[in-house]
Chain A
Amino acid sequence: MTEPQSLKSPRSWGPRILLVLSAAVVVPLGATLLYHFSPTEYDFYPRCMFRLVTGLHCPGCGATRCVAALLHGDLQQAFAYNPLFVVMLPFLVFGAMRIAYSTWTGKQMRGYRLPAWALKTLVGLLIIYWIARNIDVYPFDLLAPHQI
C-alpha cells in the first residue's frame, strides 16, 4: 500500500472554492427549486437509477420528495416519503459540517466518534430497510414512498 493520501491537507484553494460554491449557490438554488417546483409535478429531477433498472425502491428513494416536503414544513408527508432519511438528516447535516470544516482547514474536526457497532447496525438497518420497503404487504408498504 502507498502512503495514505487521505491525511494530506488541501494545498490549493480548489476544494475551498467548491465548498463556498456549494454552500452559497448549489444548496440555496436546490432548495429554491425544490420548494417552488414540486418533484411530484415536475420530472426534471434526477431519478433513482436503481429503481429505473430494477423497479424496486432503494434506501434513498423518496429522499428528493422528502426534502421538498420538509421545506414546506410537512413532517408527516416527509416521513411518508422516506422515514429513514428524515431520521438520518440531522446526522447528515452534522457530517456535512465536519466535511466543510476539514475542507476549509485541512484538519479533521476533533470530537466524538460513533462506536463501530453503531455503524455496523446502520449497515444492517439499511439492508433490512432496503428489503422491507419493497414488500408490498401492509406494515411494510408504509416504508415505501407514498403520498398521504
Chain B
Amino acid sequence: MAYENRDDEDDDADDLDIRIQAGTIPNYLTQAILVTLCCCVPFGIVAIVHAAQVNTHQARGEYEKALKASDEAKKWCWIGFLLGIPANIVIFLLQIMGELG
C-alpha cells in the first residue's frame, strides 16, 4: 500500500485514516440521484439524504459518523437499484407480452 502522505502524524495510520485525511469519504451522491431518477423509487431520496449527511459530518470533522452515513447511502442505493431493476424488467416483459397477446 503506497502512502501518499509521508508526513503523517500517526505512524500506524491505516487505510481508513489515509482516506479521511484525503477528505474523500464517498457519498454516493451520483448513484443516489441515478437511482432516484431511473428506478423511480423513493429509496433514492433516502440515499441522497444520507449522502448529504456524509458531507455534513465530514465538514465538521466527525469522520466516524461520515463513514457510517457513507455506508448507509451505499446501502440505500443498492436497495433502490436491486428493487428497481427487476421491477423494471418485469414491467418491460409484461409490456412485450401485452403487445404480443
Interfacial residues, chain A to chain B (CB-CB below 8 A) = 1, 4-7, 43-44, 46-52, 58-61, 63, 85, 88, 92, 95-96, 98-99, 102, 107-110, 113-116, 119-120, 122-123, 126-127
Contacts and interface: CB of A to CB of B under 8 A. Distances in A.
Nearest to A96: B30
B30 A92 contact: yes
Interface of B: 15-16, 19, 22-31, 33-34, 36-38, 40-41, 45, 48-49, 51-53, 55-56, 58-59, 67-68, 70-71, 74, 84, 87-88, 91-92, 95-96
B52 A119 contact: yes
Contacts, number: 104
A116 B95 contact: no
B40 to A, nearest CB: 4
A5 B70 CA distance: 10
A110 B29 contact: no
A92 B44 CA distance: 14
B55 A122 contact: no
Contacts of B15: 7
